[in-house]
Amino acid sequence: MLEGFSPCEVEGPAGALHTLRGGRGAPLLLLHGHPQTHLMWHAVAGDLAKVFTVVMMDLRGYGDSARVSSDAEHQAYSKRAMALDAVAVMRHYGFERFQVLAHDRGARVAHRLAADHPDRIQRLMLLDIAPTLAMYDNTSEAFAHAYWHWFFLIQPPPLPEALIESDPVRYVRSVMGKRHAGLGAFAPAALAEYERCAQIPGTAKSICEDYRASATIDLAHDRVDVAAGRQLAQPLRVLWGEHGAVGQCFDVLGLWRERARDVSGRRLPCGHYIAEEAPALLLAEALNFFKT
């Protein structure tokens, strides 16, 4: 599904990171969401690689990247730590400055990456998220029902892990299949890959730690930025699905304008999984936004 891309295992700060590279031109890093892998970009990566050097990576704890041990403060899965993985990957390929296209959990990593390493990130496009702190602070009943997994995964171990590990495929299909487009939005080979990776030992623990970090240490980092009046300086483009819970429950543009200086964006006629539900629209947006 990703012809022309070469795989490489890159040693990150806490373990091996599964990556792929293809194309030529200005560097563009793609970061995936939960419970997916780099393969979520299969419908757009090839066309992006005609213009950019595209690098894809599996986030730590996902896909074929390392399952990293964590601690009581969930530091190993803080978005600050995960952002350093991205820096290491791009440095491995010889890129000190680059642009970022990211979805869902990867977009939260990208937000912290741009905040902590402003000199490295030239532009970023974030798909179907509002700032983490704002989403928790403004949680409604409608959002809690739609994003039940946010509140399930942050429960203390070992209950969430045990329930996921009892049937990882059912977990993936439940999370992804109950949204707007259902499982029909996903290419069978891509869905099979998400299911394979969910069954790798340690995945359930890593997923839970990712979400536990977002509800604890990541919020602390965000509050420091807000208190200091720090805003992202890079041009930021945000896209969200009109049929998704994020756009229905939050003022996406308004919330990002509180956290970044140069923000634009719009809703697209799809649900949460933009890259797989509306790849042609996403490709047009990306080619128009990112600099060659």
Residues facing 99 on adjacent strands: 28
DSSP 8-state symbol, 156: P
Does residue 18 contact residue 51 with C-beta atoms inside 8 Å? no
Catalytic residue flag (residue 272): yes
**Whose structure tokens read 């409604």?**
140
3 state DSSP class of 206:
helix
In this structure, what token pair is assigned to residue 41? 């970009």
- Which of the following is catalytic: 18, 32, 42, 272? 272
Give backbone dihedrals phi and psi of 23, rounded to 5 degrees, phi first: 90, -170
Of 240, 275, 272, the residue nearest 254 (C-alpha): 240
- CA pair distance 165, 263, nearest whole angstrom: 40
Three-state secondary-structure class, residue 81: helix
- Please identify which of the residues 85, 104, 210, 225 carries the catalytic annotation: 104
Cα–Cα distance for residue pair 260/278, rounded to 1 Å:
26
**How much of the chain is in helix, strand and coil states, percent to nearest 5?**
45, 20, 35
φ, ψ for residue 54, nearest 5 deg: -95, 130
Residues carrying an active site annotation? 104, 272
